[in-house]
Structure 1
């Protein structure tokens, strides 16, 4: 990135102000509502700053490090931005995503690693539980893959579970996926997704509003979620409990006047309770990507009809195989539960499950068997 843009006093002031510890979205929103520019904020006295909701500690830091005497955090960001595919975007930049700029609490600074132009692509957020069922993981992967084939970029939060599956589905389709972090770009969280983050950067982007070396913190994730939904045309919730952070993302999407979609599931699956709650509140129930395309009125020349998986022909199965088929579902069940459902001996059940796995009928992960 050419950092000469930060020679401009206003750009430099926004960069500085954005990295003042303790100044978050609410304080920035109050600054904007007061029609103040960043240089004007630095001219205010302590009393005036406190009326904007800025804490004494943040005021002290702000006064200690004005734009002409930047903090180490700002200097580190400027050095980082000199590397290829590293970008610092303020509200003043043409590359700042237009859709995100429309929301009330748009971050004044985005740090981006990867292809900065993809922030302007039409995106759909795909979010959900960190502890999904096998069926939920498959849905996230397949929906992301199919949405990518429709020409949409997939945006999510790099978290374990649904987020990771959505990113991987988009990558499998050779498309673009964007990951918004709840930490700094040099503190990838969770650590096991460092390799996935690098894959995302190759054709998509990593995004954060936090300083480069900021660690993950529970309070960061609701802030991250508003960016995930703010970048996107709509938000698709795959699986979520009633206390899931994905419902926060959905609520923020509604507040941002964006569409919310939810995939229903079995009523006894707690990971679908959040989806059912959203549907009762007016979210669009979806069973295929075509439902999303219709709701968004999205058409793209690369749209391909979704290939439906052939139905299993149980007529050709033996009576015991049919018994097992009726006991299996897309949510997953362990061996003890399948013994209870089928009343078959463990040894016989193991043989049948192995045959089903080899035939591509079921998958087994972490001791649970589910239909594919």
Structure 2
């Protein structure tokens, strides 16, 4: 057993072990977490799991995994974490887990992070687009990244060829942090020609992956990667993309996550701009300079920067004031709604889409949570109650 694992709280140990069990995802882990079971789940019998609505098949997987918690995947993960000071493991019960990411429909159960962990909590804007951009597209990606980075915003992208590469490079040339979310394990940088860029990113920002260390890149991984790119960010900027581009998937996921979507228009004869024009017709914000993005997001950027500063001060003073615990008395059915709420507010239609609940059931749960003062309703948008104590 590694020193790192031994020093974790019991809840974090159990979450980490459970997240390495094949076939166990965020919904099952959330049910256990919501039932205040992470400290005691290793003592549970079959009935305890089944009472939470966990299927018999998953119950068996959980019980088998808890009997032999040190799977090969977990051992490799712990060995990797201890091999360098800038190697980090982050789960939803960790203080370092980005709050915005925890509110998306399917939050990653575990993140492997190589680099500066605090960059994940910073205000971020994602820049995405074609792997085969025009000269103008490369220029726009680079210049927008420089502009955003110079204003203290972390540029997030996916380390792919083309637009992603230019966005990361622009942020680095501005001597700022940038985050690359991978569609592979951290031991398989893709594309290989970006290996040196990836190392540079780790110096000020971070490489992030939800995949096991030795996972090779696969076409099915990139849509999953994209939901994290948008989930970490306050908004997503699409530079160039054709109508069938994966960047449009990222934009759609951003909208589902209640994020802002921005697009740069271009020449009508440039097929790489067709996706941008489509997004603008669908309601994305047309932008011509980084300042327009900064102006649109200024309230959220300021709020995120204030929270990040509070976290840094609390860490320095060893007096944490931020609570990431589930409100006392909250039941699993409440948590299935509560987890989708954030400080930006979520509307009824989005909650129906995310939870799959009927309008009547959702209204019942939301009213119950309002009465318990867990959430507030302002002009049809539902918010969590403030999580931070006043200074």
Normalising by structure 1, report the TM-score. Answer: 0.72
Q: 1:241-320 to 2 correspondence within 5 Å?
A: 241-297=242-298
The CA distance in 1 between the partners of 2:125 and 2:10, in whole Å, is 35
Matched, 1:28 2:26: yes
Query: Which residue is equivalent to 2:380?
Result: none
C-alpha deviations, 1:40-82, integer Å up to 9, x for none? Answer: 499475995997579x6x7776554326531111011111111
Query: Which residue is equivalent to 2:181?
Result: 180
Q: How many residues are paired up? A: 295
What root-mean-square deviation, in Å, do the aligned CA atoms of Structure 1 and Structure 2 show? 2.7
**Do the aligned residues in 2 keep the contact of 1:97 with 1:231 (CA within 8 Å)?**
yes
**Do the aligned residues in 2 keep the contact of 1:5 with 1:11 (CA within 8 Å)?**
no
- Secondary structure at the aligned position of 2:90 is classed as strand
Q: 1:1-372 to 2 correspondence within 5 Å?
A: 3-4=4-5, 7-23=8-24, 27-29=25-27, 31-32=29-30, 35-36=34-35, 37=37, 40=41, 43=44, 45=46, 48=50, 62-66=62-66, 68-82=68-82, 83-297=84-298
The CA distance in 1 between the partners of 2:221 and 2:19, in whole Å, is 15
Q: Which runs of 4+ in 1 moved over 6 A?
A: none
Q: Radius of gyration: which is bigger?
A: 1
C-alpha deviations, 1:194-227, integer Å up to 9, x for none? Answer: 1110000011100111111111111111111111
**Do the aligned residues in 2 keep the contact of 1:42 with 1:62 (CA within 8 Å)?**
no
- Secondary structure at the aligned position of 1:125 is classed as strand
Q: Which runs of 5+ in 2 are unaligned?
A: 303-391
- After alignment, is 38-47 or 284-293 more displaced? 38-47
The CA distance in 2 between the partners of 1:227 and 1:52, in whole Å, is 26
The CA distance in 2 between the partners of 1:2 and 1:118, in whole Å, is 25
| Distance change >3 Å, CA 67–CA 216, structure 1 → 2 | farther
C-alpha deviations, 1:284-334, integer Å up to 9, x for none? Answer: 00011111112112688xxxxxxxxxxxxxxxxxxxxxxxxxxxxxxxxxx
The CA distance in 1 between the partners of 2:167 and 2:155, in whole Å, is 7
The CA distance in 1 between the partners of 2:64 and 2:257, in whole Å, is 36
**Do the aligned residues in 2 keep the contact of 1:244 with 1:274 (CA within 8 Å)?**
yes
Give 1:245 deviation, angstroms.
Answer: 1.0
**Do the aligned residues in 1 keep the contact of 2:15 with 2:29 (CA within 8 Å)?**
no
The CA distance in 2 between the partners of 1:194 and 1:78, in whole Å, is 23
- After alignment, is 151-160 or 218-227 more displaced? 218-227
Normalising by structure 2, report the TM-score. Answer: 0.69
The CA distance in 1 between the partners of 2:256 and 2:166, in whole Å, is 26
| Distance change >3 Å, CA 139–CA 44, structure 1 → 2 | farther
